[in-house]
Structure 1
Amino acid sequence: MTNQSSASEIEPVAVPKFYEFIPDILSYLSDGVERSNKEIYTAVAARSALSPKQMKQLMSNRRRLVYVDRISWGLTYLKQWGAVESPGRGRQKISDEGKKLANQYPQGLPSEIVAEIVRGVKSNSSTATPTQPAKSDTKNDVPKVAPSTSEPANVDESTPQELIDESIAQLESALVHDILERVRSISPGAFEQLVVDILLAMGYGGAEERGIVTQASRDGGIDGVIDQDALGLSKIYVQAKRYGEKNTVGRPAIQEFVGAVHAEGTQGVFITSSSFTTDAREFAKKLSGSTSVVLVDGDQLARLMVKYGIGVQVERTYTVKRIDEDFFDEA
């Protein structure tokens, strides 16, 4: 175990909303040239002057870049409105209606028109037929998009996937709060067993789940021991403190635990249902030599319980499906 945060974590930065990319997408495709999705993502990112940090920001699932997802959704809205069409797999080009719209606004789509397009697509998303742009003006053959008196801020700023992620995050946050209330009400002995169970669920202790809670009268400052190998040559020593929310763990408690770990081995994890003082965290972070200690506070503890299914159960499951490109590519 380590007491350092992952160096690969990218600090969250603000990335333009999906609808803010729509003007640049339409402008880039306005020359009528057919382009791949990848070309569009790269060009629109450049036109939007995204910073390196913005282009490295990952979605909550850690599988896709935020800017790519949002440009993709901006492209989807333009396609559903009728301004862009797909002549082939992963290929996009501006439609005749899109050209008319681009010609109508050569300096770029104003925000109120973007908002109208987004609202138009959303209002028709439950219909069986594709969304169509407004009928053309018979005099100049330019599609009419009625400017809205409402500001773009009234349009949902998140993509459908982001709305799902945000809802899940809200549900998890409420669940974490409820878990901590329950955890703080169990007995100290039950809390020690809970901590060992979580570490075993995370994979420590191997397939045989080699982990025990020590006897209360003989723990010597150690509440649990996890054997990392079958012979018990490598061990993780555990301290579990079931405290109330306002009863924080300070540096003296960490120093005492480090001493106990040092007398037995090299690795320790201190888990509490409350939180640690800044001094305690700094002390653990600056440990050098053979002993290392990881600190896990109440919030992180509850989130680990959710992630590894300790003390929780699945209420319902939703399946989100996407197109099978291989199926249609082979057809």
Structure 2
Amino acid sequence: MRETMPNFDEFNALTLKFMGDGVARHVSQIKDEVMQLANLSPEVLAETQPSGELRVRDRIAWACSNLFLAGLLDRPSRAVYQISETGKQLLPEVGEQLGEKEFAPLPKWQKYLAERSQKQKGKGVGKAAPTLPDERETENTVLEIVQRLNRGLADDLLQRLREGSPEFFERAVIRVLRGMGYGGTGEGSNVEALRRESHTGRSGDGGIDGIIKLDALGVQNIYIQAKRYKQGNTIGRPELQGFVGALHGKRVARGVFITTSHYTAEAKAYAEGEAQDRLVLIDGVQLANLMLSYGVGVQPKQTLTLLEIDEDFFE
């Protein structure tokens, strides 16, 4: 079982070999079958693109497109591919990889590159045209830019949390948990209700900074410890043991420890060992990402809608 993602040239070769039987197949079927042939580990199969699409399926789609542009696959109908006569002739020579070097002599590939180069010149772009379909490349580039901007925003969120008061931070983490669905929705979603029902934040609270219902009915409660630490100040095992002790004293089964900083290796080992199933740790990076995911402390700046052909509509 392979533990690394095959590169584009490897998927080109694997896809052409799979299509060598001459059967016409829909691209979705090709993705399913070639995924199996690649014999990838569950971890590799689970890798995703910025768009959320599985990376392996995206690369197989690229392979179909590349092979079609090179004239090695025909497309008898929309999203359906079949090996061409040129593909059949080249097939016996295909090894583990099939890429630009092998495509270069093929007339259809040369025509494709010439057309792309002409389009680029028409747009005033002086560099050579890319050798892969730029629609997918552009989409992933845009999504990666959005992710990079959001990473910067996450850093700003953490800084704001560190600069706020301890009480504000405690209420903020409760908002995040409620945004994730804990405690249900409705009145408890507004700030005043959070202060009244969920925020403790008082001296002598036994290490408990907040309480939130595990479900809308309030059958079980989750106790929260929130530490607003500066970058570099880490949470160690003693702090976690103190919190678990407070949970035990209140006969509570579960707790969430949240910080704007990080946890030491010993603290993580304790949470994953002795305190397993009783304690969940959320560090600063995770907290900021949760705030972005659930819209806590942020708002949309601009919404872009990326459209694509609905293949089912045309079948």
Q: TM-score, normalised on structure 1? A: 0.73
**Structure 2: which 5+ residue stretches go unaligned?**
121-127, 189-193
**CA distance, structure 2, for counterparts of residue 242 and residue 234 of structure 1:** 26
Deviation at 1:247, TM superposition (A): 0.6
Report the equivalent of 1:212.
198
1:14 and 2:1 are equivalent in the alignment: no
Change (3 A) 1:166 1:63: closer
Cα deviation for residue 106 of structure 1 reads 2.9
Question: C-alpha distance in 1, partners of 2:23/2:217?
Answer: 66
Question: What corresponds to 2:147 in structure 1?
Answer: 169
- Runs of 4+ off more than 6 Å: 154-158
The residue type equivalent to 1:267 in the other structure is R
Shift of 1:31: 5.6
Call closer, same or farther: CA 1:163–1:121 in 2, change over 3 Å: farther
User: What does residue 246 of structure 1 align with?
Assistant: 232
Aligned partner of 1:146 in structure 2 is none
1:183-202 equivalent positions in 2, closer than 5 A: 183-202=161-180
String of CA shifts for 1:200-251, please: whole Å, max 9, x gaps.
Answer: 1111111242642114234221111113456744211111100011110111
Unaligned runs of 5+ in 1: 1-11, 129-149
User: Considering only aligned residues, what root-mean-square deviation do their CA atoms show, in Å?
Assistant: 3.8
The equivalent of 2:67 in structure 1 is 78
Which residues of 2 match residues 1-331 of structure 1 at below 5 A? 13-30=3-20, 32-37=22-27, 40-41=30-31, 44-45=34-35, 49-53=38-42, 56-60=45-49, 64-96=53-85, 98=87, 102=90, 106-107=93-94, 111-113=99-101, 117=109, 124=116, 127=119, 160=137, 161-208=139-186, 209=188, 211-228=197-214, 232-264=218-250, 265-287=252-274, 292-329=278-315
Are the aligned partners of 1:19 and 1:157 in contact in 2 as well (CA < 8 Å)? no
Report deviation, 1:316. Answer: 1.8
Counterparts of 1:196 and 1:295 in 2: how far apart (Å)?
14
Per the alignment, do residues 54 and 119 of structure 1 end up closer, same or farther by CA in structure 2, a change over 3 Å counting? farther
So what's the TM-score if we normalise by structure 2? Answer: 0.76
Deviation at 1:170, TM superposition (A): 2.3
Amino acid at match of 1:196: I
Aligned to 2:191: none
Letter in 2 for 1:169: Q
Partner amino acid, structure 1, of 2:150: E
Could you tell me how far apart the structure 2 residues matched to 1:115 and 1:179 are?
Answer: 48
Query: Retained in 1: the 8 A contact 2:74–2:81?
Result: yes
- The whole-number CA distance in structure 2 between the counterparts of 1:189 and 1:244 is 16
Instruction: Say which structure is richer in helix.
Output: 2
1:118: Cα distance to partner? 10
Distance change >3 Å, CA 293–CA 29, structure 1 → 2: closer
Residues 55, 65 of structure 1: 8 Å contact kept: no
| Number of aligned positions between the proteins | 291
d(CA) in 2 for partners of 1:302, 1:125: 43
Residue identity opposite 1:214 in structure 2? T
Query: How far apart are the structure 1 equivalents of 2:150 and 2:111?
Result: 29
Work out the CA distance in 1 between the residues paired with 2:12 and 2:284: 42
Indicate the SS of the match to 1:197.
helix
Q: Secondary structure at the match of 2:262?
A: coil
Please identify, of 75-84 and 193-202, the stretch whose mean Cα deviation from structure 2 is larger.
75-84
In the alignment, the residues of structure 2 paired with residue 94 and residue 286 of structure 1 have an alpha-carbon distance, to the nearest angstrom, of: 54
Would the aligned equivalents of 1:270 and 1:293 in 2 still touch at CA under 8 Å? yes
Residues 42 and 303 of structure 1: CA distance in aligned 2, closer, same or farther (over 3 Å): closer
Aligned-partner residue type, residue 80 of structure 2 = R
Q: 1:198 to 1:93 in 2, by over 3 A?
A: same
